[in-house]
Amino acid sequence: MNVNLDELLLITIYTCLIILIIIFIVLGIKLIKTLKKLDIVIDDVNEKMGKVNGVFDIIDKTTDYACTISDKIITVISNFINGLIKKVKGKDNNE
Protein backbone atom coordinates (compact mmCIF):
# COMPACT_ATOMS: atom_id res chain seq x y z
CA MET A 1 0.00 0.00 0.00
CA ASN A 2 1.42 3.24 -1.11
CA VAL A 3 0.22 6.28 0.76
CA ASN A 4 0.77 9.57 -0.91
CA LEU A 5 1.85 12.14 1.69
CA ASP A 6 0.11 14.99 -0.17
CA GLU A 7 -3.22 13.18 -0.01
CA LEU A 8 -2.68 12.28 3.64
CA LEU A 9 -1.90 15.93 4.46
CA LEU A 10 -5.03 17.12 2.62
CA ILE A 11 -7.20 14.57 4.41
CA THR A 12 -5.73 15.65 7.77
CA ILE A 13 -6.28 19.35 7.02
CA TYR A 14 -9.87 18.75 5.85
CA THR A 15 -10.60 16.69 8.94
CA CYS A 16 -9.23 19.42 11.20
CA LEU A 17 -11.26 22.05 9.34
CA ILE A 18 -14.45 20.01 9.70
CA ILE A 19 -13.78 19.60 13.44
CA LEU A 20 -13.16 23.36 13.79
CA ILE A 21 -16.36 24.18 11.91
CA ILE A 22 -18.35 21.87 14.19
CA ILE A 23 -16.73 23.46 17.28
CA PHE A 24 -17.55 26.98 16.03
CA ILE A 25 -21.16 25.98 15.31
CA VAL A 26 -21.56 24.55 18.82
CA LEU A 27 -19.94 27.64 20.38
CA GLY A 28 -22.18 29.89 18.28
CA ILE A 29 -25.32 28.06 19.44
CA LYS A 30 -24.21 28.31 23.07
CA LEU A 31 -23.42 32.01 22.61
CA ILE A 32 -26.88 32.63 21.16
CA LYS A 33 -28.52 30.85 24.12
CA THR A 34 -26.41 32.86 26.56
CA LEU A 35 -27.34 36.13 24.83
CA LYS A 36 -31.04 35.22 25.02
CA LYS A 37 -30.72 34.60 28.76
CA LEU A 38 -28.80 37.85 29.17
CA ASP A 39 -31.50 39.71 27.25
CA ILE A 40 -34.16 38.30 29.59
CA VAL A 41 -32.16 39.38 32.65
CA ILE A 42 -31.64 42.89 31.23
CA ASP A 43 -35.36 43.24 30.48
CA ASP A 44 -36.16 42.14 34.04
CA VAL A 45 -33.72 44.67 35.49
CA ASN A 46 -35.15 47.45 33.30
CA GLU A 47 -38.67 46.58 34.45
CA LYS A 48 -37.67 46.66 38.11
CA MET A 49 -35.77 49.93 37.65
CA GLY A 50 -38.90 51.43 36.09
CA LYS A 51 -40.84 50.55 39.22
CA VAL A 52 -38.16 51.98 41.52
CA ASN A 53 -37.78 55.07 39.35
CA GLY A 54 -41.16 56.38 40.59
CA VAL A 55 -39.91 56.25 44.18
CA PHE A 56 -36.80 58.20 43.23
CA ASP A 57 -38.97 60.83 41.52
CA ILE A 58 -41.00 61.27 44.70
CA ILE A 59 -37.84 61.60 46.79
CA ASP A 60 -36.41 64.12 44.31
CA LYS A 61 -39.55 66.28 44.40
CA THR A 62 -39.65 66.13 48.19
CA THR A 63 -36.03 67.25 48.54
CA ASP A 64 -36.58 70.07 46.05
CA TYR A 65 -39.59 71.26 48.06
CA ALA A 66 -37.63 71.06 51.32
CA CYS A 67 -34.75 73.04 49.81
CA THR A 68 -37.13 75.72 48.56
CA ILE A 69 -38.74 76.08 52.00
CA SER A 70 -35.38 76.18 53.79
CA ASP A 71 -34.09 78.81 51.34
CA LYS A 72 -37.14 80.99 52.02
CA ILE A 73 -36.71 80.61 55.80
CA ILE A 74 -33.01 81.51 55.58
CA THR A 75 -33.84 84.54 53.42
CA VAL A 76 -36.42 85.80 55.94
CA ILE A 77 -34.02 85.31 58.87
CA SER A 78 -31.11 87.01 57.08
CA ASN A 79 -33.34 89.96 56.07
CA PHE A 80 -34.50 90.27 59.68
CA ILE A 81 -30.90 90.26 60.97
CA ASN A 82 -29.83 92.79 58.30
CA GLY A 83 -32.72 95.05 59.34
CA LEU A 84 -31.65 94.86 62.98
CA ILE A 85 -28.03 95.65 62.09
CA LYS A 86 -29.09 98.66 60.01
CA LYS A 87 -31.24 99.97 62.89
CA VAL A 88 -28.36 99.57 65.33
CA LYS A 89 -25.92 101.31 62.95
CA GLY A 90 -28.45 104.09 62.35
CA LYS A 91 -28.81 104.70 66.13
CA ASP A 92 -25.03 104.72 66.57
CA ASN A 93 -24.58 107.31 63.81
CA ASN A 94 -27.31 109.59 65.26
CA GLU A 95 -25.79 109.60 68.73
pTM of the model: 0.51
Give residue-wise pLDDT tens across range 28-87.
Answer: 999 999 999 999 999 999 988 888 888 888 888 999 999 999 999 999 999 988 888 887
In this model, does residue 95 exceed pLDDT 80?
Answer: no
The one-letter amino acid at 56: F
Could you write out the DSSP letters of every residue in 20-79? HHHHHHHHHHHHHHHHHHHHHHHHHHHHHHHHHHHHHHHHHHHHHHHHHHHHHHHHHHHH
Strand, coil or helix: 2: coil
In this model, does residue 91 exceed pLDDT 80?
Answer: no
- Quick count: other Cβ atoms within 10 Å of Cβ 78? 10
Note the residue count of the chain. 95
